[in-house]
C-alpha cells in the first residue's frame, strides 16, 4: 500500500468565549495532515490532542447533517466536505460563519435561522385538513413536476447561504436565501395549497424583494443548490398571483392507494427504561 | 401584497425609463443623424427650441411622464437601500413618508415650468 506523506499545517482558529473574552482572537495549532484529510479531521485532531476546550459543531462527517459550516480561508464551507490539500497552503484560517451570532469559538447560534425557516411553514399545506390527518387517497406527482423543485429539497440547513449573502450581512431582518428557497420549494409543489399563507411572510420590505441577485448563496452552497434561482422563480410566482397573469399550477391528481401495502413497521420499544 | 406592487411598478418604470430616456437622448444628442433622415429639430439644446417644445402638449406630457417614472424608480430604490441599512419598523414609516413628501415637492417644482408654459 502506498504510504502518503504527512505535512504540518498551521490551523489559525478564531477563539471566543463570551464569558471570558471581550472580543474574538486567534490561536494557532500545528496539525499533521495527510492526503484525504478534511478540515474537520484537523479540528478533531486539535480537540483530541492539543486543546479540548475548542468548540465546534459536527455530527455526520459526510455533508448531510449541515452542522459543520464554518469560514475556511474566508469562504464558507462544510468542514467535513473540504479537504485540507484543496487550499494548497500551509496555513488555514478558520472562523465561525458570519451573519450569525457566535455562541463560542466556531459555534454559531442557528436559532434565528431555524425560526425563519419554520416561519415559512416548510411542509405541505392543504385546505382539506381532515384528508391531511387521515388520508384516503395518494397524491400523484409526475416526474416533470418533481423536477421543478427537486434540487431545493436537498437543502441541509447548514446556514452557509446566509453567511455568504451580502444582503443578510447588511439587513439583519432579511428572510434569507435558505427560507426563500424553501418557500419556493413548497409553493411549487403540486400537492401544496399554502401559497396564500406563505406569501405574506416573504412579501415584506425585508423579504423576497430585497434579494440583490448577487448569487453568492448559489456559489457557496455545498450541496450544489441554486437558491438565487429559487428566489427569482418565487418573485415571478408572487407577481403573477398579484396581477393575475401567468399559468396556474395544475394540482396533483388523487389516486386510490395500492390495494396491497406493506404493513407499517411497529415503533421499536425504548431501550432506556422509563423513557417516553 | 403592497411590496409586490411596489416592486412590479419598479420593473415597469425601469422599462419606461429606457424608452422615454432613449427618445430624450436621441433628440438632444443625435440631431445630426435625425437631420440626415429629414427630421429637423433646430438646435434642440437652445433656449428657444426648449420653450417651443414645452408649448407642445405631446412634448410636455412626454417630459412630465419621464419625470414621474424617474422619480418613482429613483426614490423607491433609495427607500429600499435606506430600509436595508436601517432595519426597524419605526424607521420604515419615517423613511417612507419622507420619500413621498420629497417626491411630491420635486414633482411640483419640476413640472411647474412646462405646465405654466402650456397653459399660458
Of A72, A80, A77, A68, which is closest to residue A108 (Cα–Cα)?
A68
Q: How far is CA A143 from the centre of its chain?
A: 24
Mean pLDDT, residues B5-29 taken together = 93
B21 to chain A nearest CA, in Å? 24
Set of cell numbers at residue A107: 459555534
> What pLDDT score does A260 carry?
67
* Res A244: pLDDT: 84
Q: Does A204 reach chain B within 8 Å, measured CB to CB?
A: yes
Please report, rounded to a whole number, the percentage of residues in chain B having pLDDT higher than 70.
Answer: 99
The pLDDT assigned to A274 comes to 66
Q: Tell me, which fold does domain A7-108 have in CATH?
A: Ubiquitin-like (UB roll) (3.10.20)
Rounded to the nearest angstrom, the minimum Cα separation between B41 and chain A is 41
Average pLDDT over residues A153-176: 94
Contact B107, B71 (CB under 8 A): yes
Q: Is B83 on the interface with A (CB under 8 A)?
A: yes
Residue A51: which H helix or E strand, with range?
none
Give the per-residue pLDDT at A158: 95
Residue A219 CA: distances (Å) to CA of A62, A162, A222, B33: 20, 12, 9, 46
CATH homologous superfamily for A111-255? Alpha-helical ferredoxin (1.10.1060.10)
Q: Report whether pLDDT(B28) > 90.
A: no
C-alpha cell at A202: 416573504
pLDDT of residue B66: 94
Percent of chain A with pLDDT over 90: 71
- Inter-chain contact A239–B1, Cβ cutoff 8 Å? no
Which residue of chain B comes nearest to A207, CA vs CA? B3
pLDDT at B84 over 50: yes
Residue ranges of domains in chain A? 7-108, 111-255
Residues recorded for chain B = 120
Using an 8 Å CB-CB cutoff, list chain B residues near A207: 3
pLDDT band at residue A147 using 50, 70 and 90 as cut-offs: very high
pLDDT at A80 over 90: yes
Contacts of A170 in chain B (CB under 8 A): 84-85
Helices (H), B1-120: 2-29, 31-36, 47-54, 57-85, 89-119
pLDDT of residue A233: 95
Q: Span B2-119: which CATH code?
A: 1.20.1300.10
Asked if domains A7-108 and A111-255 share a fold, the reply is no
Interval A18-74: pLDDT, tens: 999 999 999 999 999 999 999 999 999 999 999 999 999 999 999 999 999 999 999
Q: Which cell numbers hold the place of A225?
A: 443548490
pLDDT of residue A276: 55
Q: Would you kindly state where each structural domain of chain B is located, as residue ranges?
A: 2-119
Is A204 close to B4, i.e. CB distance below 8 A? Answer: no
**What pLDDT sits at residue A165?**
96
Q: Residue B84 and residue A203: Cβ atoms within 8 Å?
A: no
Q: Say if residue A1's pLDDT is above 50.
A: no
pLDDT at A239: 92
Q: A203, B4: Cβ pair inside 8 Å?
A: yes
DSSP run (H or E) holding A181: helix A177-187
Put simply, whether A109 touches B (Cβ < 8 Å) is: no
Task: Please write the tens of the pLDDT for every residue from B97-118.
Answer: 999 999 999 999 998 877 887 7
Which segment of A5-14, A77-86, A123-132, A260-269 scores lowest on mean pLDDT?
A260-269
pLDDT tens-digit map of A253-275: 888 766 666 777 888 887 776 65
Which of A232, A241, A165 minimizes the C-alpha distance to A200? A241
pLDDT tens-place string over residues A167-186:
999 988 899 999 999 999 99
The pTM (predicted TM-score) of the whole model is: 0.85
Pairing state of beta strands A91-95 and A7-15? parallel
ipTM field? 0.79
The rounded distance, in Å, linking the Cα atoms of A25 and B42 is 70
Contact B4 A242 (CB under 8 A): yes
Amino acid at each position: 500500500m502506498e504510504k502518503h506523506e504527512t505535512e504540518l499545517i498551521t490551523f489559525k482558529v478564531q477563539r471566543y468565549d463570551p464569558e471570558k473574552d471581550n472580543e474574538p482572537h486567534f490561536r494557532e495549532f500545528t496539525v499533521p495532515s495527510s492526503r484525504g484529510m478534511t478540515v474537520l479531521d484537523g479540528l478533531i485532531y486539535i480537540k483530541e490532542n492539543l486543546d479540548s476546550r475548542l468548540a465546534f459543531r459536527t455530527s455526520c462527517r459526510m455533508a448531510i447533517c449541515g452542522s459543520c459550516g464554518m469560514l475556511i480561508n474566508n469562504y464558507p464551507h462544510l468542514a467535513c466536505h473540504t479537504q485540507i490539500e484543496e487550499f494548497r497552503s500551509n496555513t488555514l484560517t478558520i472562523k465561525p460563519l458570519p451573519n450569525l451570532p457566535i455562541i463560542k469559538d466556531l459555534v454559531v447560534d442557528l436559532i434565528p435561522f431555524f425560526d425563519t425557516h419554520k416561519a415559512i411553514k416548510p411542509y405541505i399545506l392543504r385546505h382539506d385538513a381532515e384528508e391531511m390527518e387521515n388520508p384516503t387517497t395518494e397524491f400523484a406527482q409526475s416526474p416533470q413536476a418533481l423536477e421543478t423543485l427537486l434540487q431545493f429539497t436537498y437543502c441541509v440547513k447548514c446556514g452557509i447561504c446566509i453567511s455568504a449573502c451580502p444582503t443578510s450581512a447588511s439587513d439583519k431582518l432579511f428572510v434569507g436565501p435558505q427560507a426563500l428557497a424553501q418557500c419556493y420549494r413548497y409553493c411549487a409543489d403540486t400537492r401544496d395549497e399554502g401559497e396564500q399563507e406563505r406569501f405574506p411572510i416573504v412579501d415584506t420590505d425585508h423579504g423576497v424583494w430585497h434579494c440583490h441577485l448577487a448569487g453568492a448563496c448559489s456559489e457557496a452552497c455545498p450541496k450544489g443548490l441554486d437558491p438565487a434561482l429559487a428566489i427569482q422563480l418565487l418573485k415571478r410566482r408572487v407577481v403573477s398571483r398579484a396581477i393575475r397573469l401567468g399559468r396556474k399550477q395544475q394540482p396533483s391528481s388523487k389516486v386510490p392507494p395500492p390495494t396491497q401495502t406493506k404493513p407499517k413497521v411497529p415503533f421499536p420499544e425504548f431501550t432506556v427504561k422509563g423513557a417516553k | 401584497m403592497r411590496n409586490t406592487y411596489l416592486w412590479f411598478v419598479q420593473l415597469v418604470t425601469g422599462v419606461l425609463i429606457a424608452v422615454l430616456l432613449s427618445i430624450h437622448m436621441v433628440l438632444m444628442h443625435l440631431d445630426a443623424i435625425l437631420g440626415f433622415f429629414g427630421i429637423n429639430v433646430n438646435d434642440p439644446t437652445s433656449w428657444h427650441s426648449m420653450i417651443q417644445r414645452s408649448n407642445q402638449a405631446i412634448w410636455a406630457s412626454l417630459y412630465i411622464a419621464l419625470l414621474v417614472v424617474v422619480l418613482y424608480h429613483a426614490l423607491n430604490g433609495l427607500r429600499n437601500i435606506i430600509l436595508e441599512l436601517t432595519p426597524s419598523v419605526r424607521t420604515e414609516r419615517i423613511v417612507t413618508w419622507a420619500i413621498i413628501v420629497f417626491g411630491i415637492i420635486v414633482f411640483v417644482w419640476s413640472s411647474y415650468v412646462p405646465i405654466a408654459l402650456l397653459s399660458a
